[in-house]
Amino acid sequence: MDATWLDAIKWDRDGLVPVIAQEVGSNDVLMFAFMNREALARTVETQRAVYWSRSRARLWHKGEESGHVQQVHDIRLDCDNDVVLLKVKQLGHEPGIACHTGRHSCFFQQLEDGQWKAVEPVLKDPGRIYK
Amino acid sequence: MDATWLDAIKWDRDGLVPVIAQEVGSNDVLMFAFMNREALARTVETQRAVYWSRSRARLWHKGEESGHVQQVHDIRLDCDNDVVLLKVKQLGHEPGIACHTGRHSCFFQQLEDGQWKAVEPVLKDPGRIYK
């Protein structure tokens, strides 16, 4: 594979790039994660989001346990070549669940009067997502 | 100031947290940057986005040179307490310009047939933004 497009990315000192996943249509920001070179290459090849799990130190095929796969519609790179934006369709549940807490988006805590408050509903019990 | 909400954030090894700025209304992802504790505190106090510039190693009041200030409407924290999402109104130009290249969004490079292509127009010549 000609990997010139991968070489264009400024990988960080750990060989990773931050990735924002945004839902096609609603434009909701669903989650934030990292990719290494292999994860991004596989994401492009399969058109399914593949991240690098820093806690498990391995490739993480999004949805591998939950079934909440992300179908990739668009891949963007920022002006500094060091952040990737994925536009995805969040599959496996309607409405889409991107967060391991069973919520649509990981960004469900809102700052209000000096406190973080969970303001988005749990769409599916995590105990039923991860059996 | 009671800073319990700041303590809830898992700051990285450099004392920073990644921040995604998203436009109110369109939900477009405008840019990605970092904040330290002081930047986030000032952002909340002033309701204007203040980032930490890693390259200049100082607080960066967004729009301090360009006039392209971000008015903050909502502040979210993700499920792992280590990424912040700002919903902002991008001021100073209509339509809003968040990128130093004079574009609406920093995410203007699209992967197409193995190449990154600039697919968003320059709304204002950077030479006229940064005098």
Mean of the per-residue pLDDT values of chain B: 96
Pick the residue of A53, A83, A86, A122 with the most B CBs within 10 A to test the interface with B by mutation.
A83
Instruction: Find out whether B98 and B90 touch, Cβ atoms under 8 Å.
Output: yes
pLDDT (0 to 100) of residue B3: 81
Cα of B99 vs its chain's centroid, Å: 9
pLDDT (0 to 100) of residue A131: 77
Residue B113 contacts A, CB cutoff 8 Å:
no
In the predicted structure, residue A52 carries a pLDDT above the cut 80: yes
Question: How far is the C-alpha of B25 from the C-alpha of A26, rounded, in Å?
Answer: 11
The tens digit of pLDDT for each residue in A5-32 reads 999 999 999 999 999 999 999 999 999 9
Instruction: Find out whether A92 and A63 touch, Cβ atoms under 8 Å.
Output: yes
Q: What is the CA radius of gyration of chain A?
A: 15
Chain B residues with CB under 8 Å of A28 CB are: 27
pLDDT (0 to 100) of residue B17: 98
Instruction: Kindly list the distances between the CA atom of residue A2 and the CA atoms of A76, A80, B61, B102, B129, in Å, as whole numbers in the listed order.
Output: 18, 22, 40, 31, 37
Are the beta carbons of B76 and A2 separated by less than 8 Å? Answer: no
Among all chains, which residue has been given the structure tokens 């940064």?
B130
Are the beta carbons of A4 and B109 separated by less than 8 Å? Answer: no
The tens digit of pLDDT for each residue in B18-73 reads 999 999 999 999 999 999 999 999 999 999 999 999 999 999 999 999 999 999 99
In the predicted structure, residue A41 carries a pLDDT above the cut 60: yes
Task: Measure in Å the smallest separation between the Cα of B20 and chain A Cα atoms.
Answer: 8
Are the beta carbons of B29 and A31 separated by less than 8 Å? Answer: no
**DSSP assignment string, chain B:** ---HHHHTS---TTS-EEEEEEETTT--EEEEEEE-HHHHHHHHHHSB-EEEETTTTEEEETTTTT---EEEEEEEE-TTS--EEEEEEE-SSSS---STTS-S-S--EEEETTEEEE-S--SS-HHHH--
Rounded (5°) CA angle B70-A21-A12: 80
In the predicted structure, residue B91 carries a pLDDT above the cut 90: yes
| Span A102-131, average pLDDT | 96
pLDDT (0 to 100) of residue A3: 81
In the predicted structure, residue A2 carries a pLDDT above the cut 80: no
Question: How far is the C-alpha of B10 from the C-alpha of B115, rounded, in Å?
Answer: 36
Bridge partners, residue A110, by sequence:
A117, B76
Give the per-residue SS3 of A110-130: EEECCEEEECCCECCCHHHHC
pLDDT (0 to 100) of residue B20: 98
Total residues belonging to chain A: 131
Total residues belonging to chain B: 131
Helical ranges in chain A per DSSP H: 4-7, 37-46, 126-129
User: Whose CA is closest to A100, among A117, A124, A84, A120?
Assistant: A124
